[in-house]
């Protein structure tokens, strides 16, 4: 049986992108993306929950993210989840979860349409055509 590991995020950057290079000169960019959920609770009060996501972008796409994105910018990300663990300096085992992006689309601040699309495939349709909601 086949399996699928796919994540779709539509959110805003919480900080400027951080670009670095591996020992083999491959570009890697880390993004901090915030998504929010708004609902009305049982008492009629409007509530909001913000979730932060670590996103990793590789290669030329990583360089473009550093060049064109900045804190507060809205973006659309498609990728896969990756879980990892490590032991910190005090000997405590820590766990991390991040989204490894394969598509990052830069969205304009005022309306939800694609301003620029940077990915490995052909140009894509607008975000409205691709999102299920």
Q: Model-level pTM?
A: 0.75
Rounded Cα gap, residues 75 and 63, in angstroms:
15
Q: How many CA atoms lie within 13 A of 43 on its CB side?
A: 2
pLDDT value of residue 64 = 96
Tokens representing 55 are 């996103």
Q: What is the third-level CATH fold of 7-36+48-130?
A: OB fold (Dihydrolipoamide Acetyltransferase, E2P) (2.40.50)
Identify the H or E element spanning 67. helix 59-68
Question: 33 and 77 in contact (C-beta within 8 Å)?
Answer: yes
Question: 124 and 102 in contact (C-beta within 8 Å)?
Answer: no
pLDDT value of residue 110 = 60
Which residues, given as ranges, of the chain have pLDDT below 70?
A: 110-133
> Parallel, antiparallel, or unpaired: how do β-strands 116-119 and 93-106 relate?
antiparallel
């Amino acid at each position: 049986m086949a399996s699928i590991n796919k994540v779709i995020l539509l959110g805003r950057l919480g900080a400027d992108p951080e670009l670095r290079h591996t020992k083999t000169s491959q570009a890697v960019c880390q993004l901090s993306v915030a998504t929010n959920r708004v609902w009305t609770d049982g008492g009629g009060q409007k509530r909001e929950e913000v979730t932060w996501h670590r996103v990793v972008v590789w290669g030329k796409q990583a360089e473009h993210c550093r060049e064109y994105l900045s804190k507060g910018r809205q973006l659309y990300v498609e990728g896969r989840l990756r879980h990892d663990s490590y032991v910190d300096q005090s000997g405590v085992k820590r766990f991390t979860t991040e989204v490894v992006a394969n598509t990052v689309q830069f969205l304009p601040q005022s309306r939800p349409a694609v301003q620029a699309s940077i990915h490995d495939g052909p140009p894509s349709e607008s975000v409205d055509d691709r999102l299920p909601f």
